[in-house]
Amino acid sequence: MLRLLSQRRAAALASAAVLAHESRDKLPIYPAPAPEVLLLDAPSGLETQIGAARTAATATYRDARAQVQAVVSRWIGVEHAVEARIKSLVDPTEPLTPGVLYVGVATLSGSILARTRALPARLLLPPVLLVLSARHFLPKTAANVAAYLGSLEDTYLPALAEKHDIANAHSAMTWERLKEAGAEGRVRFERGVLGAVERLEAATGLKLKDALGKSAAVETQVREAAGVVRQSGETAAAAVAEKVEAVREAIEEKVHDVRAAAEEREKADELPKRLV
């Protein structure tokens, strides 16, 4: 029995081996699909370094170009702002062509006249002539420039602006007093001349008033002029007092604002200290 079983197993194994060999040798009925070919691109180390350098150079170029464009745009904005400011300062009713020429000639004349003088004269005469000629030939434009400079002074130099306002008020008061004194001196001179003519008439008997055209009308005019001078002096004094009061109020307001800002800064500085 054992021999029969072993013979059967050997026959089965032999038949299986024959079938497997025949299946390998036979061709399939349908064509087999072509195998897929995968190509892997493996860059070298040099190519990797070159790519990194190129990427860095491109990024640097883009950053530099953006910065240059920003600077150019900012410069164009500054040019537009300066142009707009100049147009706002120049008065359209004043012709600039002869006025600017006259101002330049006056300024250069100051430099020429002061070239043999002392150093203070050489430094002060050209700007003084520049300001005076600008106020004479281009009064509206000069007023606009002065107002703009005053606004800058109030914004960036408030302390200097306060002193400047006080100096302007004092100079205005002094100028009004000088004008009043000059008008009163002229009236006194006319009165003295009229009194001398009257005494001369009384001494000689000549009608000098008629010859000189001085009569009662002149006395009336003198009195009217004296009244006008007094009235103008009172008006000027009142105007100067109002200006001084306005300047004082403005100074007090600015001092109050400065103190408030200082107190706020102190509070802001104390808060971090308390937190610490």
Please give the residue that has the higher pLDDT: either 99 or 71.
Answer: 71
Q: Is the pLDDT score of 271 beyond 90?
A: no
pLDDT digits (tens, 9 = 90+) for 39-73: 777 778 888 899 899 999 999 999 999 999 999 99
**Across residues 69-79, what is the average pLDDT?**
95
CA dist 115 and 121 (Å) reads 9
pLDDT at residue 84, as a whole number: 92
* pLDDT above 90: percentage of residues in the chain: 24
pLDDT digits (tens, 9 = 90+) for 219-266: 565 566 556 556 655 665 566 567 657 766 766 776 667 667 767 766
pLDDT at residue 2, as a whole number: 42
pLDDT at residue 231, as a whole number: 65
**Cβ partners under 8 Å of residue 122, min gap 6:** 111, 114, 115
CA dist 96 and 116 (Å) reads 32
Check if the beta carbon of residue 229 is closer than 8 Å to that of residue 191: no
CA dist 236 and 177 (Å) reads 9
Going from the C-alpha of 158 to that of each of 23, 124, 151, 152, the distances in angstroms are 108, 25, 10, 9
**Across residues 23-51, what is the average pLDDT?**
74
Domain ranges, ordered by start, for the chain: 85-156
Please name which of 166, 164, 160 lies closest in space to residue 249, comparing C-alpha atoms.
Answer: 166
CA dist 91 and 82 (Å) reads 16
Check if the beta carbon of residue 227 is closer than 8 Å to that of residue 138: no
Backbone φ and ψ of 213, nearest 5°: 75, 20
Radius of gyration of the chain (CA): 51
pLDDT at residue 232, as a whole number: 58
pLDDT digits (tens, 9 = 90+) for 174-226: 888 888 888 888 888 888 877 777 777 777 766 666 655 545 555 565 566 55
pLDDT digits (tens, 9 = 90+) for 119-149: 888 899 999 999 999 999 999 999 999 889 8
pLDDT digits (tens, 9 = 90+) for 164-176: 888 888 888 888 8
**Across residues 153-157, what is the average pLDDT?**
85
Q: Is the pLDDT score of 273 beyond 90?
A: no
Query: And the tokens for 71?
Result: 């600077």
**Cβ partners under 8 Å of residue 173, min gap 6:** 240, 244
Please give the residue that has the higher pLDDT: either 269 or 54.
Answer: 54
pLDDT at residue 67, as a whole number: 96
